[in-house]
Chain A
Amino acid sequence: MAETLLELAGLEVRYGGVAAVRDVSLQIAQGELVGLIGPNGAGKSTTLHAIMGVLPASSGDVLLRGRSLRGLKPETISRAGIALVPEGRRIYADFTVEETLRLGLVGRRDRDGAEADLAWIRELFPVIEEFRDRQAGTLSGGQQQQLAIARGLAAGPEVLLLDEPSLGLSPKLVDVVFEALTEIAKRGVAVLLVEQRAQRTVALADRTYVLSNGEIRMTLSPKDAGDTERIVSAYFA
């Protein structure tokens, strides 16, 4: 059994008086790819933001290798080994592709293995090497998404969080991104994938949690991918 890297234990996040996320508990082990799906406003992005320390947890805990991350700043959490590929990619348009990767290196705990990681990233996303001197803002949406994931990986994270990486991408590019996620997990990274594309996520991930109204309603396995009824019922539970 692979070691548990990220654990959410009874996580609750409140916006004022309203709990956006309630009692969310899940674990992700090294090399696992875990999905988190649910309707708009279910609390998926809120969960990711709470993990990264952007939003404070009102109760419960986020643990990395058993160590609590509560109260830490986003930059400290990033340097502890968790990378977030944010919704909408958040690429710096003025940066070249190469500069974007160098910025990604800032989140590393140490420089050991940086060159090997970069070589692997360039192999994973050949587009990064092809357009290394281009300004990131001039890349297509799909290329920017690959660059955003590459930037996250440059930090050498143990845990990679992705917030709707398939948003606005053509089906073909979704294939490219999802295949890359499998490769990333194979390398030993724990991947938490937040997605709107429910069926594809369920089919891809080792297991997928369905979040609705801030609570986990169901856990699905790849064999449930064909069971549309079950997925839909989880959404409206």
Chain B
Amino acid sequence: MSHIQALLDAIGLGAVYGLMAVGIGLVFGVLRLVNFAYGQVIMLAAYMLVFTTGWPDVASILVAVLMAVFASLVMERVAFRRLRTSSPATMLVATFAISYLLQNLALLRYTYHSRPVGDSVGTLAGLINAVQIGSLHIRWITFVAIGTGLVSFTLLALLLKRTTIGLQMRAAAADFRTARLLGVRADTVIMTAVAISGVLAALAAVILAVSSTVVTYQTGLSETILVLVGVVVGGIDRLLSATLGGFAIGFATSFVGAELPNQGTTPFTSNQYLPSVIYIGVIVVLLLRPAGLFARRGQAPVERV
């Protein structure tokens, strides 16, 4: 039965990473920008839960969402828009700079007052309790993560398929130059994609912060690195393959972590094995399918504008 437990936990983490992958993939689609600072949007949203301690949960989450959207739009306006015609390397380095700037600003919160790093989160505290189903102990937050993932993916698919702005976003992601010739407004499409990615970052932030019960200046950082790896492994140039890649890396991390031998002393514990196993898997996938694990057959490795 412990395998089923591991499986459900893995789906839960996969769903959160999938949300992040969609957020990263949407922005990549319209800007050809790999946003390394996505983790800090998550961090900012997570801090909003800390700052609104004592507020009703719904209000806290709403503030987190507003903060993530606001921070994303500011990043777009101040940095990404000016770099739109720059090389992918320039844009990536710029997002590194934003990422470290925000992390260090957050770190000041602790160093300035010489207090230990980390703030505890009380929002939705009931969700870390487990529900017992037979011999399984599943935390409520796992169900919330899976449900949030399913609802978000469905809404986004409807948005992209049924609405005019969705059509424009798809067109812009596939061929921005032609889209503009058809009257698609570049700024509107980019700001919409960035705002949606902000909402998804906030959802991921709430789930991550509630599960770990703590927020630090590094919240969202390691998750973003893993999701970026997952997105590349899945195939970054299509939203579906990027999302599946994000889900797969979350799923693999959780599942492999649970299944690896956990007895004995370092280095023979799962914590020590996990990154090696995951990255060996990543290397094998990239060697065998350079265009991405979920890329369409015959598709060439992605070429950038």
Chain A residues within CB distance 8 Å of chain B: 52, 54, 73-75, 78-79, 83-84, 86, 90, 92-95, 99, 102-108, 151, 155
Closest to A78 in B: B183
Given A92-B170, A92-B171, A95-B170, verify A103-B177 contact (CB < 8 Å). Answer: no
The answer to whether B170 and A94 have CB atoms under 8 Å apart is: yes
Q: What separation, in Å, do the CA atoms of A75 and B177 have in the docked complex?
A: 10
Q: Chain A residues near B282: list those with CB within 8 A.
A: none
- Report which of B167, B175, B186 forms a contact with A75, defined as CB distance below 8 A: B186
Q: What separation, in Å, do the CA atoms of A172 and B178 have in the docked complex?
A: 27
The answer to whether B170 and A75 have CB atoms under 8 Å apart is: no
The answer to whether A155 and B170 have CB atoms under 8 Å apart is: no
Given A73-B180, A73-B186, A106-B182, verify A90-B175 contact (CB < 8 Å). Answer: yes
Q: Chain A residues near B266: list those with CB within 8 A.
A: none
Given A92-B171, A92-B175, A94-B174, verify A52-B164 contact (CB < 8 Å). Answer: no
The answer to whether A86 and B181 have CB atoms under 8 Å apart is: yes
Q: What separation, in Å, do the CA atoms of A104 and B179 have in the docked complex?
A: 9
Q: Is B184 an interface residue (CB 8 A)?
A: yes
Q: What separation, in Å, do the CA atoms of A90 and B177 have in the docked complex?
A: 10
Interchain nearest-CB distance for A97 vs B (Å): 13
Q: Chain B residues near A54: list those with CB within 8 A.
A: 177, 181
How many A-B residue pairs have C-beta atoms within 8 angstroms? Tell me. Answer: 58
Interchain nearest-CB distance for B26 vs A (Å): 16
Closest to B238 in A: A94
State how many residues of chain B have any CB contact under 8 Å with chain A.
16
Given A102-B164, A106-B164, verify A74-B180 contact (CB < 8 Å). Answer: yes
- Report which of B167, B181, B184 forms a contact with A52, defined as CB distance below 8 A: B181
Interchain nearest-CB distance for A158 vs B (Å): 14
Chain B residues within CB distance 8 Å of chain A: 164, 167-168, 170-171, 174-175, 177-178, 180-186
Q: Chain B residues near A105: list those with CB within 8 A.
A: 164
Q: What separation, in Å, do the CA atoms of A78 and B180 have in the docked complex?
A: 8
The answer to whether A103 and B186 have CB atoms under 8 Å apart is: no
- Report which of A93, A94, A99, A151 forms a contact with B182, defined as CB distance below 8 A: A151
Given A73-B186, A102-B164, verify A86-B178 contact (CB < 8 Å). Answer: yes
- Report which of A92, A93, A99, A106 forms a contact with B183, defined as CB distance below 8 A: A106
24 chain-A/chain-B pairs, Cβ below 8 angstroms: A52-B181, A73-B186, A74-B177, A74-B181, A75-B186, A79-B183, A83-B182, A86-B178, A86-B181, A92-B171, A94-B170, A94-B174, A99-B167, A102-B164, A102-B167, A103-B167, A103-B171, A103-B182, A104-B182, A106-B164, A106-B182, A106-B183, A108-B183, A155-B183
Q: Chain A residues near B174: list those with CB within 8 A.
A: 92-94
Q: What separation, in Å, do the CA atoms of A151 and B184 have in the docked complex?
A: 13
Q: Chain B residues near A106: list those with CB within 8 A.
A: 164, 167-168, 182-184
Closest to A85 in B: B181
Interchain nearest-CB distance for A98 vs B (Å): 11
Q: What separation, in Å, do the CA atoms of A52 and B174 have in the docked complex?
A: 20
Closest to B161 in A: A99
Q: What separation, in Å, do the CA atoms of A92 and B175 have in the docked complex?
A: 8
Q: What separation, in Å, do the CA atoms of A74 and B168 have in the docked complex?
A: 15
Interchain nearest-CB distance for A40 vs B (Å): 21
The answer to whether B171 and A75 have CB atoms under 8 Å apart is: no
Q: Chain B residues near A107: list those with CB within 8 A.
A: 182-183
Interchain nearest-CB distance for B250 vs A (Å): 26
Interchain nearest-CB distance for A102 vs B (Å): 6
Q: Chain A residues near B171: list those with CB within 8 A.
A: 92, 95, 103
Q: Chain A residues near B170: list those with CB within 8 A.
A: 92, 94-95
Q: What separation, in Å, do the CA atoms of A74 and B179 have in the docked complex?
A: 9
Q: Chain B residues near A78: list those with CB within 8 A.
A: 180-183
Interchain nearest-CB distance for B179 vs A (Å): 8
Interchain nearest-CB distance for A115 vs B (Å): 16
Q: Chain B residues near A151: list those with CB within 8 A.
A: 182
Closest to B165 in A: A106
Q: Chain A residues near B180: list those with CB within 8 A.
A: 73-75, 78
Q: What separation, in Å, do the CA atoms of A22 and B167 have in the docked complex?
A: 38
Closest to B174 in A: A92
Known: A73-B180, A75-B181, A90-B175. 13 other contacts (CB 8 A): A54-B177, A54-B181, A75-B184, A78-B182, A79-B183, A92-B170, A92-B171, A95-B170, A103-B171, A104-B182, A106-B167, A106-B183, A155-B183
